[in-house]
Amino acid sequence: MDKIYKKNLFGLSIDEIQTIADENGWPSYRGAQIFRWVYQGVADIDEMSNLPLSAREALKKQYQIFHLQIIKKIEEKKTKTTKYLLRTEDDLLIEAVLLRYRHGNSLCVSSQAGCSMACVFCASATGGLKRNLSAAEMLSQVYVVERDTGQKISNVVMMGSGEPLDNYENTIGFLNLISDKDTRNLSKRNITLSTCGIADKIVLLADSKTGVNLSVSLHSPFQDQREMMMPVAKNFPLEKLMEACSYYVQKTKRRITFEYALIAGVNDTLGHGQALAQLLRGLNCLVNLIPINQASNPTLKSSNDEAIAAFAEILTKKHINTTVRRTLGSSINAACGQLKSGFYKEV
């Protein structure tokens, strides 16, 4: 027999919770009380101590508070990066990665179970898309890790498994919830959304005024090569993508980040560097060079330190802001999809 799920209070907006209170004929302040309890992180409706027993019983008939469950944790001792494998209510496995920096804790959250974008260097792509995650499931990753560590998350990066802009409505719901002053009150400036380049949704995001930091996976300045590495490029060619990125910068007044995973002999040549500099000329942006994590695709070899430095120099000489990313978590395969793949092999 199929499991019967009660509706989850966690993930509802204040308006949705207020409607529940109104429908039950409760005083108007009751909705705000329930909302605060839910996002203070109570695990059970019975913990809402300022609600009368009758209201708690009525709520429990239809609702529950459900959070993702921790199935497994792997820590990289040197950097204290922790990868969490989490289970959804319908038994899907998703991942979140906690990165500890001097300036605070950053959590890399997943937006989908699996992913349909099929980027060649990504472990999440191998199983395809299982389903979109709800806003509650994205937010729960933050709550569960904070509860587990007893430490606050100060930055969120949407770079786990899934393409957040392929799950647009829930992603916006998540961004609104996590920045609500009565939930986690996280500044949108401390949130980075990473996309493989869904240009039309970048435009929508710019118009939505969410104001989050945008990070775009580029990986090649050439259309034909980008199509081979990232099939999404067929639907959103470089020209369209760059138009959307310029629009985002102009609308939000925020600098955009381009992620560029360096693969030896594939996209790290002088010609690639020059073409990349030309493509980004005049745009307020930062290029983040990432030595590719070979665990995600053993056939791809990371550029060596000399090649990375030479590539960075081409860009900086053309006045393109450039950094090389520290690879936290490489020993625990902290790239999307990898812990889950390992877990499936073990069971």
Which residues have a catalytic role annotated?
95, 336
Q: Using the minimum distance from each CB to ligand SF4, give the nearer residue, 126 or 321.
A: 126
Nearer to ligand SF4, 82 or 111 (CB): 111
CA dist 97 to 70, 73, 191, Å?
A: 12, 9, 15
Report in angstroms how near the CB of residue 216 gets to ligand SF4 at its nearest: 11
Cβ atoms of residues 342 and 333 within 8 Å: yes
Query: Does 96 interact with ligand SF4 (rule: CB under 6 A)?
Result: no
Considering the complex, state which of residue 38 and residue 218 has its C-beta at the smaller distance from ligand SF4: 218
Q: Identify which range of 111-119, 140-148, 179-187, 198-206 contacts ligand SF4 by CB under 6 A.
A: 111-119
Q: Residue 272 is encoded by which pair of tokens?
A: 């690639």
Site for ligand SF4 in 137-156 (CB under 6 A): none
Per-residue contact track with ligand SF4, 15 to 54, x per CB under 6 A? ----------------------------------------
| CB distance 147 to 96 below 8 Å | no
Looking at beta carbons only, is 109 or 277 nearer to ligand SF4?
109
Report, in Å, the least distance between residue 125 CB and ligand SF4: 4
What is the C-alpha to C-alpha distance for residues 73 and 84, in angstroms, rounded to an integer? 5
For residues 122 and 144, which CB has a smaller minimum distance to ligand SF4 in the complex? 122
Helix axes 199-208, 238-252, angle to 10 degrees: 10
Stretch that binds ligand SF4, among 18-26, 63-71, 119-127, 275-283 (CB under 6 A): 119-127
Cβ atoms 97, 336 nearer than 8 A: no
- Report helix, strand and coil shares of the chain as percent, to nearest 5: 40, 20, 35
Going along the chain, which residue ranges are E strands? Answer: 7-8, 63-64, 69-76, 81-87, 93-101, 104-108, 112-114, 129-132, 155-158, 191-195, 213-217, 256-262, 285-291, 321-324
x/- track of binding to ligand SF4 for residues 169-198 (CB under 6 A): ---------------------------x--
Chain residues binding ligand SF4 by CB under 6 A are 115, 117-119, 122, 124-125, 161-163, 196, 336
